[in-house]
């Protein structure tokens, strides 16, 4: 026997006892609100209040068929068929021609079946036509009828067994039941001892003591479905209306098959001994025996409810159901009484299970109803929310939130009272909906946990006293601690709010979700989650969180929150405090967990504070705010300070004068980077900025030069001391300062070279001085520096080439030969100059300039080559001169020839432009030999021919004695 369940799927709503003069009930039929009872003394009763009784025959009533469409009742008794009206007013009429009927079954068609129509479209078809119908549905005129035509109203087809014959008949009924008759549609050979029969679509399933067989009402062929074992219970068939399936009883097992006899789904295992009768009630199979009624779920096969309606040994019991797919009622009868049951509404079943805290069974029931399409989305969402609240108060927080997330109608504001006590900012947002009223009003999680623990303690006490209580066995065997439960509750509420953030909520609800989520993060000290929420786009209410975060020391999260809300001043103030007091333990850093030593942790924390502050200042156009926090960020990380000053994210750039004044004079690199950004990136043409940048670079270059000169000392400690700023400078400015100074001095024309020159005048920055003197136009000083101080002959010669005058080379030669200041003559440099540039020098001046002390072997070859080059240039000049004269003469001769050409004009000559006869008119001839009249010549001009050729742009060459094209 299946395990008894506490679920209430059906409940009795009416019952009555049979009068004493009735022997016992033999059959039962339920139609709409009317119940027909057939007794063993062959009487037929109507309605539970016994409205009327009619006598049928002297034998028991075996089957009752209610034809509600026409208000008639068909009864099988003593092998005959009787018919009467549904109100049992008129006398019972016996249908003649049928005798010895043992079993009868009415034909039913499934909702979407395509079964064959065994009857004609008209009830007046001839007998010959019906005989032909048996052999293929051919009409008398030779035209086949439709095989898939639906049964017309008024046609009632039954299958009945008489001996070994299976006959298919059609009742022909009219308004006068006294004229009822029948027509035999088909006869088929059957078996002996048929006990039960069901006709569905084109299949007739019959049950005998040997097993179940299937007959086709179209072809007449039969086949075995199941063979029953010896000594098994009598066969029993039941049509299941909901899915148009048939249940076959095999001993105490119910096998469900389709219209073709193929098993579908699983089997139903009944109580030992098997049932007396089977009924169909919605998604359940009703089984009665020995005064008990069991309800089995068709799909799961589980026995969900058992009811007792009589004592054991009461006799054979009968169950009847409504012949429709949505049957809600069933009637159960014993030989002495009848009890009517109705299906409890699904919602009431669910509520009853929830009241008993049978959550798993309630969930299973809902899943079944959902699969069968009996629950709307609104009811399903309401159920998940209701179960969630019940589980929450039952301390099953994870399962509760799982159900909250499955509810589409539940609002996140409904969990607000579990987090913050009323009244609060969001109290009015909480819907006052208690669903089915099965859970108490929401209270803070601390109270939920305390009440739950108190209930567990009370249950333990009652269990010890022998009183059964409804409580989770896990809690009884291993009572949880308050801290564990509270942590679990907060974690799962966090999970729900995190998912709720992704939904489309109103602004007020979004503010509540984010603010209370921060509360819960703080309760569990989820620092990372707090900072992640605060730094992202959020709807937190700052006023609700300021005191909480500040008092608990979560300043980083508070700073992120201020920044996300545009309260930059407050955020920066916190980052400044953290940067200054990091070592005092105001906040933690991940470096501590990674095993870094204390000094590294402090440095990492301060760098983080400076970085976060710089992120805010990069976007800020508030100049006072930027300059207020620039100094401490520059102390920690100069690169971040430069990033702040040179940020292009802000809408309005900072005032250069204010920024320069605010930069610490010791932070030279920051100033230089800022000035470089203004000049190179912002294309500033302010001469003051260019000069300031040049002076700053020059000062740094002097210091760098002096530092390098003095670093030759073997003092290792001093070298280590000087190493740190170098590293820092490399990280901030990649190129050496002298390179940057030289490039800037050469590229910019907006700085004051005299001011810069005054600064470096006493230094050893000779190349920089040369650049400045060049800007000032002091060529002699530039050559002195390049040739004598730097001894860069190539640069000196290049500068002379830029000057472009021969005297510059002579001046450079004089410097090489007479360096002054007691310095030896630079003969090699002088010879190199003569070798490279001697051709452009005057030999006489060179000879006059050469020093008597210069070795002859150094200068002789160079001077000789210079003289030869001068002679070569002279002769080349003569050749060019004579060729020019020849060309000039040739051109004059060609011009003369052109002017001396003769043109013969007669009366037939035409103008090449207007084609008029020239005759005695004035005319003109172009170099390409075209002739035009004087009028056309004036119109076109002397440079453009009638062919369109412009002789000024496209010169015409004619061969001469020297010049050719």
* pLDDT value of residue 3: 42
Please state, for a pLDDT cut of 70, what percent of the chain lies above it: 85
Last residue of a domain, one of 320, 344, 368: 344
The three-class DSSP label of residue 170 is strand
* pLDDT value of residue 293: 92
Last residue of a domain, one of 312, 344, 376: 344
Q: Is residue 533 assigned to a domain?
A: no
Last residue of a domain, one of 284, 310, 344: 344
* pLDDT value of residue 416: 96
Q: Strand 101-108's sheet: what is its strand order?
A: 181-189, 165-172, 155-162, 101-108, 194-200, 203-208, 211-216, 222-227
Q: Residue 338 is part of a domain; what is its CATH number?
A: 2.130.10.10
* pLDDT value of residue 443: 94
* pLDDT value of residue 528: 95
- Asked whether the beta carbons of 178 and 77 are under 8 A apart, the reply is no
pLDDT in tens, 796-823: 888 888 888 878 877 877 787 778 877 7
Range of the domain at 250: 10-111+154-344
* pLDDT value of residue 789: 87
pLDDT in tens, 895-927: 787 777 777 888 888 999 998 988 888 888 888
Q: CA-CA distance, 437 to 571, in Å (whole number)?
A: 47
Q: CA-CA distance, 88 to 269, in Å (whole number)?
A: 40
Q: Is residue 597 assigned to a domain?
A: no
Q: Is residue 804 assigned to a domain?
A: no
Q: Is residue 925 assigned to a domain?
A: yes
Output Rg (C-alpha) for the chain, integer angstroms. 58
CB atoms within 10 A of CB 724: 9
Low-confidence residues in the chain, pLDDT < 70: 1-6, 19-24, 32-33, 42, 47-50, 120-155, 325-326, 582-603, 711-732, 837-870, 957-965
Kindly state the helix (H) or strand (E) to which residue 188 belongs, with its residue range. strand 181-189
Q: Would you state the structure tokens that stand for residue 567, as one six-digit string?
A: 């309260």
Number of domains in the chain: 2
* pLDDT value of residue 899: 75
What's the pTM?
0.69
Q: What is the DSSP string of 705-768?
A: HHHHHHTTS--HHHHHHHHHHHHHHHHH--S-HHHHHHHHHHH-SSS-HHHHHHHHTTSS-HHH
Q: Is residue 77 assigned to a domain?
A: yes
Q: Is residue 430 assigned to a domain?
A: no
Q: CA-CA distance, 250 to 716, in Å (whole number)?
A: 104
Q: Closest Cα to residue 706, out of 618, 765, 786, 777? A: 765
Q: CA-CA distance, 275 to 287, in Å (whole number)?
A: 6
Q: Is residue 435 assigned to a domain?
A: no
Q: CA-CA distance, 963 to 965, in Å (whole number)?
A: 7
Q: Is residue 37 assigned to a domain?
A: yes
């Amino acid at each position: 026997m299946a395990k008894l369940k506490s679920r209430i799927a059906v409940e009795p709503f009416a019952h009555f006892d049979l009068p004493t003069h009735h022997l016992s009930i033999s059959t039962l039929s339920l139609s709409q609100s009317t119940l027909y009872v057939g007794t063993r003394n062959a009487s037929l009763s109507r309605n539970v209040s016994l409205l009327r009784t009619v006598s049928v025959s002297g034998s028991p009533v075996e089957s009752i068929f209610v034809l509600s469409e026409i208000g008639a009742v068909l009864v099988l008794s003593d092998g005959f068929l009787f018919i009467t009206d549904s109100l049992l007013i008129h006398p019972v009429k016996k249908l003649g021609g049928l005798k010895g009927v043992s079993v009868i079954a009415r034909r039913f068609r499934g909702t979407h079946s395509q079964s064959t129509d065994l009857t004609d479209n008209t009830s007046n078809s001839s007998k010959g036509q019906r005989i032909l119908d048996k052999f293929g549905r051919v009409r008398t005129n030779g035209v086949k009828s439709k095989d898939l035509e639906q049964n017309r109203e008024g046609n009632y087809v039954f299958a009945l067994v008489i001996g070994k014959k299976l006959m298919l008949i059609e009742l022909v009924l009219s308004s006068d039941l006294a004229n009822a008759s029948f027509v035999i549609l088909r006869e088929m050979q059957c078996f002996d001892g048929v006990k039960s029969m069901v006709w569905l679509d084109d299949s007739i399933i019959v049950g005998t003591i040997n097993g179940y067989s299937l007959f086709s009402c179209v072809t007449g062929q039969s086949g075995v479905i199941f063979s029953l074992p010896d000594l098994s219970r009598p066969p029993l068939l039941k049509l299941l209306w909901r899915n148009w399936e048939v249940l076959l009883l095999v001993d105490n097992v119910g096998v469900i098959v389709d219209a073709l006899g193929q098993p579908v789904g699983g089997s139903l295992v009944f109580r030992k001994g098997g049932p007396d009768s089977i009924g169909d009630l919605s998604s359940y199979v009703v089984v009665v025996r020995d005064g008990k009624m069991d309800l089995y779920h068709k799909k799961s096969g589980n026995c969900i409810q058992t009811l007792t309606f009589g004592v054991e040994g009461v006799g054979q019991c009968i169950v009847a159901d409504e012949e429709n797919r949505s049957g809600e009622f069933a009637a159960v009868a014993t030989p002495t009484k009848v009890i009517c049951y109705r299906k409890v509404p699904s919602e009431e079943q669910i509520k009853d299970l929830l009241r008993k805290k049978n959550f798993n069974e309630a969930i299973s029931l809902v899943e079944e109803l959902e699969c069968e399409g009996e629950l709307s989305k609104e009811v399903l969402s309401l159920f998940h929310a209701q179960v969630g609240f019940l589980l929450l108060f039952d301390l099953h927080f994870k399962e509760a939130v799982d159900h909250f997330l499955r509810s589409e109608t539940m609002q996140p504001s409904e969990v607000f009272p579990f987090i913050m006590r009323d009244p609060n900012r969001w109290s009015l947002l909480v819907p006052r909906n208690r669903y089915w009223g099965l859970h108490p009003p929401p209270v803070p999680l601390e109270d939920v946990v305390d009440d739950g623990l108190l209930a567990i303690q009370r249950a333990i006490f009652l269990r010890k006293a022998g009183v059964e209580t409804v409580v989770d066995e896990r809690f009884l065997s291993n009572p949880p601690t308050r801290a564990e439960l509270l942590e679990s509750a907060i974690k799962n509420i966090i999970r729900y709010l995190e998912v709720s953030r992704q939904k489309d909520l109103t602004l007020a609800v979004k503010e509540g979700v984010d603010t209370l989520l921060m509360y819960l993060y703080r309760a569990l000290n989820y620092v990372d989650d707090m900072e992640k929420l605060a730094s992202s786009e959020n709807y937190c209410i700052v006023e609700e969180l300021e005191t909480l975060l500040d008092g608990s020391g979560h300043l980083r999260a508070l700073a992120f929150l201020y920044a996300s809300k545009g309260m930059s001043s407050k955020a920066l103030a916190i980052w400044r405090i953290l940067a200054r007091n990091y070592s005092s333990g105001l906040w933690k850093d991940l470096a501590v967990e990674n095993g870094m030593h204390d000094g590294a942790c402090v440095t990492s924390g301060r760098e983080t504070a400076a970085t976060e502050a710089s992120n805010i200042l990069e976007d800020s156009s508030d100049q006072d705010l930027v300059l207020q926090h620039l100094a401490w960020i520059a102390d920690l990380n100069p690169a971040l300070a430069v990033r702040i000053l040179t940020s292009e994210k802000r809408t309005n750039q900072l005032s250069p004068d204010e920024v320069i004044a605010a930069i610490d004079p010791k932070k030279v690199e920051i100033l230089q980077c800022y000035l470089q950004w203004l000049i190179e990136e912002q294309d500033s043409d302010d001469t003051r900025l260019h000069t300031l940048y040049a002076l700053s670079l020059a000062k740094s270059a002097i210091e760098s030069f002096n530092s390098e000169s003095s670093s030759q000392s073997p003092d290792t400690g001093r070298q280590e001391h000087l190493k740190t700023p170098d590293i820092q400078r490399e990280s901030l400015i990649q190129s050496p300062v002298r390179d940057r100074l030289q490039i800037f001095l050469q590229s910019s024309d907006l700085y004051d070279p005299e001011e810069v020159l005054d600064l470096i005048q006493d230094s050893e920055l000779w190349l920089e001085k040369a650049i400045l003197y060049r800007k000032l136009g002091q060529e002699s000083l530039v050559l002195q520096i390049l040739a004598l101080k730097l001894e860069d002959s190539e640069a000196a010669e290049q500068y002379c080439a830029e000057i472009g005058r021969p005297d510059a080379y002579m001046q450079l030669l004089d410097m090489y030969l007479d360096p002054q200041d007691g310095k030896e003559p630079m003969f090699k440099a002088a010879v190199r100059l003569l070798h490279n540039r001697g051709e452009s020098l005057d030999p006489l001046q060179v000879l006059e300039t050469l020093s008597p002390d210069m070795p002859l072997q150094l200068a002789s070859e160079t001077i000789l080559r210079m003289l030869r080059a001068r002679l070569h240039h002279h002769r080349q000049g003569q050749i060019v001169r004579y060729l020019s004269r020849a060309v000039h003469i040739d051109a004059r001769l060609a011009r003369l020839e052109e002017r001396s050409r003769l043109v013969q004009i007669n009366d037939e000559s035409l103008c090449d432009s207007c084609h008029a006869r020239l005759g005695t008119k004035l005319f003109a001839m172009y170099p390409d030999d075209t002739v035009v009249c004087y009028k056309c010549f004036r119109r076109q001009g002397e440079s453009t021919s009638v062919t369109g050729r412009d002789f000024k742009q496209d010169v015409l060459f004619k061969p001469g004695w020297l010049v050719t094209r």
